Amino acid sequence: MKTRIHGWPQYLDRLSALLNIARMSLLFSIMTFYVLTRNMDEPGLSVPIFNKPELYSWAALYGFLILFSMLVPRWQNQPDALPNVNAAVDITMIAWLMSMAGGVDSGFGILLLPFVAAACLFSRGRYPLIYAGYVTLLIVIITWLQISRNGFENISMRICTIAFMLIAAVYLVAGLTAYVATSLARSQNLQYQQSKMLDSYRHLLDRAFNYVQEGVVVLDESGMIWLINRKAQKYFPMLVVDTRTVIFRQIMHYWHTEQKNIFEINCTLNGLPMRVHARLLQEANTPLLMLSMRARTEIDQEAMALKLASLGQLTANLAHEIRNPMSAVRQANELLQEEENDPARLKLFHIVDNNISRIDKMLEDIGVLNKRDKKNRQVIDLRVFWSAFVQEFILIKPQALHCIKLEADSEPLVVSCDSIHLQQIMWNLMNNAWRHSQQNKEAIRVVMRKEWQQKISIIVIDNGAGVSAENQLHLFEPFFTTEPSGTGLGLYVARELALANHGQLNYSPQLNGFELTLPRMVDE
């Protein structure tokens, strides 16, 4: 397979322009020379004698070639499969001029050499022997014609020597030019490959720089920003490269005061609590400071996630150990109730039973939470799912009959998720909505619609008082509840199950409801 040479078209365009200049210079010089020497045809003067009609024909043809090459320069850049026709035309025209001037000893043969070199360059170092062989054929023909005019019995050793030297020079120039052109082509191809590799590395570095979790800013001592990634621009949208900023003056002051090359600092930048890791860089003898920063809220959330993960493992083990003694307590409580008729003591037994049920519900929620990663994603038609779900919900809460309204898009609503997880999420949302609603005919409104980026949204809205701004901050925290009998795990478990199915669960104060977003099946 042939290696494609990159970068050559630009060089060939320049070579074509230079070649046209050389042609015009040659044509102008020859015609000027002819005009100045046409009366110097006395015997004894070594001035070439041109045939006037033949010279004018040559000049007209060569002038047309120059004009055509200037108007259509790309005709000279032909495919590599064949020798360059343009080069053959130039060589033929020079050979014709040499023949008109008297033959190989006229001195015009030296003009063949630059055109042979140009031919090898146009062909990217290919076919040097073909070009040299063609020139050799023309020189031999011209030499034969010149000798035949003088008579074969008067063969001049001088003419033969000049012809031989000219042929040798042609082969030498063709070989050297082909070698140079091939080396240049190889160098251009290597340069192109290295450029592509550097572009690839630059693209990878750009992706790595812009998609890291930390915001990165590089600035000098004057506060001039050299580099900034997307995360940092998300924190500080006003920052622009090659502009000065005073946002980091607290960090710069610490740097100048402590004279440390690497340090970490907690500070408030533009009103945001940040954790900043700073490192000194040296670029062209200019001290630069690279700041890697993250919002303290993000760090705290990650720490909380790790704690919750550890807590989840611990509670799973505790739940398993608690179930057996709780079953024994429940059974003992039921046995005691059978032999007791005192209303006061029965009330105490009832309190014990209620609290045991509450603990069971909490253990059940913890069990669901620890099984969130064991999902079996399925294709679920939300209309079919809703029809079955609402019937089950009304069987358990018959007072909700005729109090639930569904609003769904006319388009297909098909999602990809675990049906058991979806059942658990919807049960938590519907139960929560019914408990906080006015429990009338307009108590709950469920909206199903398509969203952008291949998502489907399920919004559960109630006509209750809504969640206060203070409580909205803690809605999805584990064990947070406003109900005396609640476990505080319902919404937390629902959000975790949504995340496990590549979805989201959020509270919308404007709608006074919870919005569940799930990935939509594209090939519905």
pLDDT at 305: 66
Report if residue 49 sits inside a domain: yes
Instruction: Say if residue 47 is in the same domain as residue 126.
Output: yes
Report if residue 203 sits inside a domain: no
The DSSP element (H or E) to which 358 belongs, if any, is helix 343-370
What's the number of domains the chain is made of?
4
Pairing of strands 455-462, 414-418: unpaired
For the beta carbon of residue 216, count every other beta carbon within 10 angstroms. 18
Report if residue 524 sits inside a domain: no
Residue 47, class by beta-carbon neighbours within 10 Å (0-12 exposed, 13-18 middle, 19+ buried)? middle
Report if residue 146 sits inside a domain: yes
Cα dihedral value 322, 327, 329, 333, nearest 10: 150
Q: Whole-angstrom Cα distance, residue 19 to residue 373? A: 73
Given 309, 337, 370, which residue is the final one in a domain? Answer: 370
For the beta carbon of residue 63, count every other beta carbon within 10 angstroms. 14
Report if residue 199 sits inside a domain: no
Instruction: Say if residue 172 is in the same domain as residue 113.
Output: yes
* Mean pLDDT, each 10-residue run in order, the chain (524 residues): 47 70 81 71 53 82 82 65 74 85 81 84 81 88 81 70 88 88 81 80 72 85 87 88 89 85 88 88 78 84 69 65 73 72 74 74 63 69 89 87 88 84 87 88 89 82 84 76 68 82 85 87 56
SS3 262: strand
Task: Kindly report the CATH number assigned to the domain that includes residue 303.
Answer: 1.10.287
Let me know: does 174 contact 131? Beta carbons within 8 Å. Answer: yes
Instruction: Say if residue 67 is in the same domain as residue 134.
Output: yes
Instruction: Say if residue 234 is in the same domain as residue 184.
Output: no
pLDDT at 492: 81
Instruction: Say if residue 27 is in the same domain as residue 105.
Output: yes
Domain of 140, in residue numbers: 8-194
For the beta carbon of residue 305, count every other beta carbon within 10 angstroms. 10
pLDDT at 460: 92
pLDDT at 309: 65
Instruction: Say if residue 458 is in the same domain as residue 382.
Output: yes
Task: Kindly report the CATH number assigned to the domain that includes residue 414.
Answer: 3.30.565.10
Given 311, 338, 370, which residue is the final one in a domain? Answer: 370
Report if residue 200 sits inside a domain: no
Instruction: Say if residue 35 is in the same domain as residue 182.
Output: yes
Report if residue 477 sits inside a domain: yes
pLDDT at 4: 45
Given 248, 279, 298, which residue is the final one in a domain? Answer: 298
Does pTM surpass 0.75?
Answer: no
Instruction: Say if residue 344 is in the same domain as residue 479.
Output: no
Q: Whole-angstrom Cα distance, residue 436 to residue 440? A: 11
pLDDT at 95: 87
pLDDT at 49: 61
Let me know: does 461 contact 433? Beta carbons within 8 Å. Answer: yes
Instruction: Say if residue 321 is in the same domain as residue 388.
Output: no
